[in-house]
Amino acid sequence: MENIITSENAEKIYSEIKDLPIIDYHCHLSPKEIYENKVFGNIGEMWLAGDHYKWRLMRFYGVDEKYITGNAPMKEKFLKFAEVVSTAYGNPIQDWCELELDEVFGIKKRLCKENAEDIWNEANEKIEKDRLCPKKIFEMFGVEYVATTDDPCDSLEYHRLIKKEEKIKTKVVPTFRVDNLLVFGDNYTDYLKKLGDVSGIEINSLDSFENAVKTRMDFFILHGCKFSDVGIQGFPNVISDKKSAEEAFLKIINKKPLAAKEAEGLQGYLFVFLGEEYAKRNMIMQLHLGAKRNSNSKMLASIGKDSGFDCVGKPLDINSVTNVLDKMYSDGLLPAAVVYTLNPTMYYELITMCGAFPGAVIGVPWWFCDHKKGIFELFETFSALGHIGALFGMLTDSRSFLSYVRHGYFRMILAEYLGRYGSDKDVVKTAKNLSYFNAVDRIKK
Say how far apart CA 290 and CA 363 lie, in whole Å.
13
Q: Are 72 and 427 in contact (CB under 8 A)?
A: no
Within 13 Å and on the Cβ side, how many CA atoms surround 294? 13
Does 52 have pLDDT greater than 80? yes
Percent of the chain's residues with pLDDT above 90: 93
Predicted local confidence at residue 444, as pLDDT: 81
Residues in contact with 379: Cβ distance below 8 Å, sequence separation at least 6, in sequence order: 388, 413, 414, 417
Predicted local confidence at residue 206, as pLDDT: 98
* Domain definitions of the chain by residue range: 8-39+132-444, 40-131
Tens of pLDDT, residues 147-199? 999 999 999 999 999 999 888 999 999 999 999 999 999 999 999 999 999 99
What would the DSSP string read from start to end of 59-108?
A: HHTT--GGGTTSSS-HHHHHHHHHHHHTT-TT-HHHHHHHHHHHHHH---
Say how far apart CA 230 and CA 41 lie, in whole Å.
33
Say how far apart CA 359 and CA 299 lie, in whole Å.
40
Q: What is the mean pLDDT of the segment spanning 91-100?
A: 96
Predicted local confidence at residue 66, as pLDDT: 96
Residues in contact with 445: Cβ distance below 8 Å, sequence separation at least 6, in sequence order: 282, 336
Residues in contact with 119: Cβ distance below 8 Å, sequence separation at least 6, in sequence order: 43, 82, 101, 107, 109, 111
Nearest by Cα to 30 from 54, 49, 55, 58:
49
Tens of pLDDT, residues 362-390? 999 999 999 999 999 999 999 999 999 99
β-strand 22-24 against 143-147: which pairing, if any?
parallel
Using pLDDT thresholds of 50, 70 and 90, give the confidence band for residue 276: very high
Which runs of consecutive H residues, i.e. helices, occur in 254-371?
A: 260-280, 297-303, 318-330, 347-354
Nearest by Cα to 274 from 224, 317, 327:
327
User: What backbone torsions phi and psi does residue 307 show, to the nearest 5 degrees?
Assistant: -120, 10
Which runs of consecutive H residues, i.e. helices, occur in 331-424?
A: 347-354, 372-385, 405-418
DSSP 152: T
Say how far apart CA 245 and CA 184 lie, in whole Å.
13
Other Cβ atoms closer than 10 A to 234:
18
Q: Give the burial class of 335: count Cβ atoms within 10 A of its Cβ; 0-12 exposed, 13-18 middle, 19 or more buried.
A: buried
What sign has the CA pseudo-torsion 126, 132, 137, 141? negative
Q: What is the mean pLDDT of the segment spanning 243-250?
A: 98
Q: Which amino acid is at 111?
A: L
Other Cβ atoms closer than 10 A to 33:
16
Q: What is the mean pLDDT of the segment spanning 382-405?
A: 95
Does 306 have pLDDT greater than 90? no
Predicted local confidence at residue 371, as pLDDT: 95
Predicted local confidence at residue 265, as pLDDT: 98
Q: Are 170 and 147 in contact (CB under 8 A)?
A: no
Q: Which amino acid is at 183?
A: V
Does 56 have pLDDT greater than 80? yes
Residues in contact with 166: Cβ distance below 8 Å, sequence separation at least 6, in sequence order: none
Q: Are 321 and 235 in contact (CB under 8 A)?
A: yes
Using pLDDT thresholds of 50, 70 and 90, give the confidence band for residue 50: confident
Q: Are 293 and 310 in contact (CB under 8 A)?
A: yes
Predicted local confidence at residue 2, as pLDDT: 79
Predicted local confidence at residue 131, as pLDDT: 97
Thinking of the domain 40-131, which architecture would CATH place it in? Orthogonal Bundle (1.10)
DSSP lists the bridge partners of residue 378 as none
Q: Which amino acid is at 427?
A: V
Predicted local confidence at residue 407, as pLDDT: 97
Predicted local confidence at residue 307, as pLDDT: 87
Q: Are 20 and 436 in contact (CB under 8 A)?
A: yes
Which runs of consecutive H residues, i.e. helices, occur in 331-371?
A: 347-354
Tens of pLDDT, residues 103-156? 999 999 999 999 999 999 999 999 999 999 999 999 999 999 999 999 999 999
Nearest by Cα to 318 from 286, 341, 295:
341
Using pLDDT thresholds of 50, 70 and 90, give the confidence band for residue 22: very high
β-strand 311-312 against 171-173: which pairing, if any?
unpaired
Nearest by Cα to 138 from 241, 244, 23, 45:
23
Say how far apart CA 148 and CA 348 lie, in whole Å.
29
The superfamily in CATH containing domain 8-39+132-444 is: Metal-dependent hydrolases (3.20.20.140)
DSSP 421: G
DSSP 344: G
Query: Mean pLDDT in the chain?
Result: 96
Does 445 have pLDDT greater than 80? no
